[in-house]
Homo-oligomer: A and B are copies of this chain.
């Protein structure tokens, strides 16, 4: 089945917006039951090295991850802002790539660039909805500070 361009764009936008609002249950619900979520430094990826910074190959694992992040964030209070750039939509809308920049604002009100990278998503149509089956977050840096503090 094909996916509509508008739906793909909305899914990406929602993905970022839900993290930024810390609405993680709804964020989890964007993923299919059987899903994979990885954060890999692009340098590793380009060299074919398997080492991921984060690797979850089921939604249950992703839920655990989010629980841990929430706990950690009690000690690292900040807000996130995802700015997702124009996506490339290929493969009948079921594969999409989009560059992103994530900014963080701390309790003193200082906003800083946190990370940049590229999403490579494989999507699936479930009834009326589009879900994420496989999300690869290619991170431009291998040295993201306090990486644990936020999903990307």
Q: Of B88, B97, B112, B142, which is within 8 A of A113 by CB?
A: B112
Q: Of B13, B20, B84, B142, which is within 8 A of A109 by CB?
A: B142
Known: A17-B118, A101-B101. A86 touches B9 (CB 8 A): yes
Contact B111 A115 (CB under 8 A): yes
Set of chain B residues within 8 Å of A103, measured between Cβ atoms: 101, 113, 116, 140
Which A43-73 residues have C-beta < 8 A from chain B? 43
> By the criterion of a CB under 8 Å from any partner CB, how many residues of chain A are at the interface?
44
Binding site for B on A (CB under 8 A): 5-6, 9-10, 12-14, 16-17, 20, 42-43, 79, 81-89, 97-101, 103, 105, 108-113, 115-118, 140-144
Query: A13-B88, A81-B99 given. 9 additional CB < 8 A pairs?
Result: A10-B89, A43-B79, A81-B116, A83-B99, A103-B116, A108-B143, A109-B143, A109-B144, A111-B141
